[in-house]
A and B are shown apart, each in its own frame.
Chain A
Amino acid sequence: MRKALFSLLTAGILILLTGSPALAYQPVNIVHTEHVQAGPYGITVGFSVWPLRAMQSLDFTFVPDEGIVGKSGTLLRSGPAIRGRNRAAPLVRHPRRLDVWGLDVESLNAPGTYTFTFTVAGAKGTGKGSLTGLTVLAQPGPPMGLSWAICAIPSAAMIIFLVLTWRRVHPSRNLLPLAMT
């Protein structure tokens, strides 16, 4: 029995250690695309969820017509949820699709209209173009107030526990002295 358990445990650990978790990562499934012309470069903007809803995270892909090799660029996002982040971020490879630029599991956290502005530099020079009128609908799920109320239960329970123990001991009435042994 002990031997069987040991074998089972060893097999489990080996599967965990040697299996390739990379294979288990969700692929980037693009369900909608838009086209942006940034000077001499055409860019296909891909979305893994469509239509977009506030707070719902998705994968974005940004694919120049002739690939990303030999090119660099920046992305500037603007819209209702983009606060204080008016600096352009470098375009980087999508961690789960290394042949294209992208953003992984990103969400736009307020409904409204957004603009993505691309600046791309490559052999044909530098080009700039924007995807305008990107509409983000209202958030799915229950109102945030309700979600926060449910998820504040552990904090509320902790506070109630502290108040109850405080009232039991009355630490202000029986204050600990500064000099204690």
Chain B
Amino acid sequence: MSPPNISPGRTGAAVVLLGAALSLVGTTWDIQWHVDVGPDTFFTLPHLLLYSGSAVSGIASLVIVIAATAATRAGRTVGPEAGGRPVRVFGTFSAPLGFLVSGVGSASFLIFGLVDLWWHSIYGFDAVLDSPPHIALFTSISITMVGAVVICGSARATRWGRTGLLISLPILMLYSPITTNAFNALRLPFDAASAGMVLFVVMLLVLGRATLARTGAATAFAAVLGAMQLALWWFAPWAARTYADAVGLPLRDDVGGRPPQVPASIPMFLLAGAVLIDLAVWLGARNHWSARWVPQVAGAVSGLLIAATFMLQELLISTRPAPVAGQFVVETLIGGAFGAFAGFLGWRFAGVLRGEQPPAAAPVLRIQEAY
């Protein structure tokens, strides 16, 4: 009888992805809880969701690393379907690259969770988003999400790999504004957090387009992200209010009229920016233009549009006052410059992701055969 058609790479990817989704939902819920309700303990439901996200991803990563190590020791080759190129760790383990990254992110979350407890013992139970330990925790979660992208991107030859990438990349994009909050501490003469957000979303759209190597891929990523943004826009205030009702706490007196914080910090017009990237790459391919500059141009026009429409969005939903004309032009141009750099990085990081795992060259063996 043939074994069931399930590879640990696929199961592991699904569990890491579930962990990443739990982290995103938990963070969004927790931030909304602080905005709408307030009182906090270590064991609130949004906190438990947050912790379980990293725990789920971390345990799945560890299990796959141990399974891949056992497979390698048994003399079998672990292929890219198992989550990326195997990397030797401590001379003993053979860790598929994607699971190594997601596991390191989870371990880092655990360590900086302790640093965060120490921080609260000095500074009180503050609820500021951009304290150093909080930024370290958000970066750790982002590293786990990068791991999920590497796992799925390495298996892009399979349907589950492509589907996983269509989910993991938008999750990472949705999470990026939470982390780029830290750029506000730099006190630059422009909105550094928004510029950082443009850099990450454009880079990941270009990376997704080049990794999947399909016409319209960037648009597909943006469409999935839009659906997630819409779902969180509804979920965050609903969850905060329902949980407050359940534990008998009232909403803050000054709640009302403000959009949910995390979903509102994602560009609503990203789809248009993604269409521009797809269009530029399609035109470039059709006219045999050079890949040395087309991704940068694609990124620049997308960055210009996203930066300009993001200011419009903030004005529409009243999260910041209307920019004066000069500031509008400067921030749009900064978005274009960051977009160009993002295009450069995104196309080349896709090269790294694809180059690490040439699917045709690497011998593929599902590690289930080691069991």
Cα–Cα distance between A174 and B341 once the two chains are bound (Å): 18
Q: Least Cβ distance of B349 to chain A in Å?
A: 7
Contact B136 A90 (CB under 8 A): no
Q: Say if the beta carbon of A153 comes within 8 Å of chain B.
A: yes
- CA–CA, A79 to B289, complex, Å? 57
CB-CB contacts of B337-371 with A at 8 A, as 1s and 0s? 00000000001111110111000000000000000
Given contacts A151-B112, A171-B348, contact A107 B124 (CB under 8 A): yes
CA distance A172 to B349 in the complex (A): 10
Chain B contacts for A16, CB-based, 8 A: 43, 48
Q: Is the CB of B351 within 8 A of A158?
A: no
Question: Is A71 close to B, CB under 8 A?
Answer: no
Q: Do B39 and A58 touch across chains, with their CB atoms under 8 A apart?
A: no
Q: Is the CB of A158 within 8 A of B250?
A: no
Least Cβ–Cβ distance between B138 and chain A, in angstroms: 9
For A129-163 the 0/1 string (1 means CB < 8 A from B) is 00000000000110010011011111101100110
In angstroms, Cα B347 to Cα A166, docked, is 12
Contacts of A157 in B (CB 8 A): 104, 108, 143
Chain B: how many interface residues by the 8 Å CB criterion? 57
Question: Is the CB–CB distance between A171 and B351 below 8 Å?
Answer: yes
- Known pairs A140-B123, A147-B132, A165-B352; A154 contacts B38 (CB<8 A): no
Interface residue stretch chosen among A3-11, A18-26, A110-118, A119-127? A18-26
Residue A180 lies at the interface, judged by CB distance under 8 Å to chain B: yes
**A176: which B residues are within 8 A, CB to CB?**
210, 213, 291, 347, 350-351, 354
Which chain B residues lie closer than 8 Å to A1 at the CB level? none
Q: Are B348 and A166 in contact (CB under 8 A)?
A: yes
B86-116 contact mask (Cβ, 8 Å, vs A): 1 or 0: 0000000000000001001100100010010
Residues 26-56 of chain A, each 1 if its beta carbon lies under 8 Å from chain B, else 0: 1000000000000000000000010000011
* A179 close to B (CB within 8 Å): yes
Shortest CB distance B55–A (Å): 15
B39 contact from A104, A174, A177, Cβ within 8 A: A104
**Scoring B residues 144 to 174 as 1 if CB is less than 8 Å from chain A, else 0, what string do you get?**
0010000000000000000000000000000
Say whether, besides A20-B247, A55-B123, A92-B253, A104 and B136 are in contact (CB < 8 Å).
no
**Is A107 touching B128 in the complex (CB atoms < 8 A)?**
yes
Taking the complex as formed, is B258 at the interface, i.e. its CB lies under 8 A from any CB of chain A? no
Give A109 to B115 CA distance when docked, in angstroms: 20
Once A and B bind, how many residue pairs between them come within 8 Å at the CB atom? 150
> Which one of B140, B143, B247 contacts A21 once the chains associate, using CB atoms below 8 Å?
B247
**A22 touching B39 by the CB < 8 A rule?**
yes
Asked whether B264 is an interface residue with its Cβ less than 8 Å from the other chain, the reply is no
- Are A22 and B249 closer than 8 Å at their CB atoms? yes
Q: Does A57 contact B (CB under 8 A)?
A: yes
| A181 touching B351, Cβ below 8 Å | no
How many of chain A's residues touch chain B, expressed as a range?
35 or more
Known: A25-B41, A105-B127. A161 touches B101 (CB 8 A): yes
Contact residues of B between 276 and 301, Cβ < 8 Å to A: 281, 284-285, 289, 291-292, 294
The CA-CA distance from A55 to B40 in the complex, in Å, is 18
Contact flag A93-B253 (CB < 8 Å), given A56-B124, A176-B354, A181-B213 = yes
**B238 part of interface (Cβ distance < 8 Å):** no
Q: Is the CB of B291 within 8 A of A178?
A: yes
Given the contacts A26-B125, A154-B140, A180 and B352 also touching, CB distance less than 8 Å: no
CB contacts (< 8 Å) of A168 on chain B: these are 352, 356
Interchain CB contact under 8 A, A175 and B292: yes
Q: A95-B249, A166-B348 are in contact. Are A24 and B135 (CB under 8 A)?
A: no
Given contacts A21-B44, A175-B351, 14 further A-B contacts (CB under 8 A): A20-B248, A22-B248, A25-B41, A26-B125, A95-B37, A96-B38, A140-B122, A141-B119, A150-B136, A158-B142, A166-B349, A175-B292, A178-B294, A181-B213
B residues near A (Cβ < 8 Å) are 37-41, 43-44, 48, 101, 104-105, 108, 112, 115, 119, 122-128, 132-133, 135-136, 139-140, 142-143, 146, 185, 210, 213, 247-250, 252-254, 281, 284-285, 289, 291-292, 294, 347-352, 354-356
Across the A-B interface, give the 9 residue pairs with the lowest CB-CB distance, nearest first.
Answer: A171-B351, A151-B132, A92-B253, A95-B38, A180-B213, A57-B124, A169-B355, A179-B285, A57-B126
Interchain Cβ contacts under 8 Å between A and B, 17 examples:
A55-B126, A57-B123, A105-B125, A107-B124, A140-B122, A151-B132, A151-B135, A152-B132, A154-B108, A154-B112, A162-B349, A171-B347, A171-B350, A171-B352, A175-B291, A176-B354, A178-B289
Question: Which A residues form the contact surface with B (CB < 8 A)?
Answer: 16, 20-22, 24-26, 49, 55-58, 89-90, 92-93, 95-96, 98, 104-105, 107, 140-141, 144, 147-148, 150-155, 157-158, 161-162, 165-166, 168-169, 171-172, 174-181
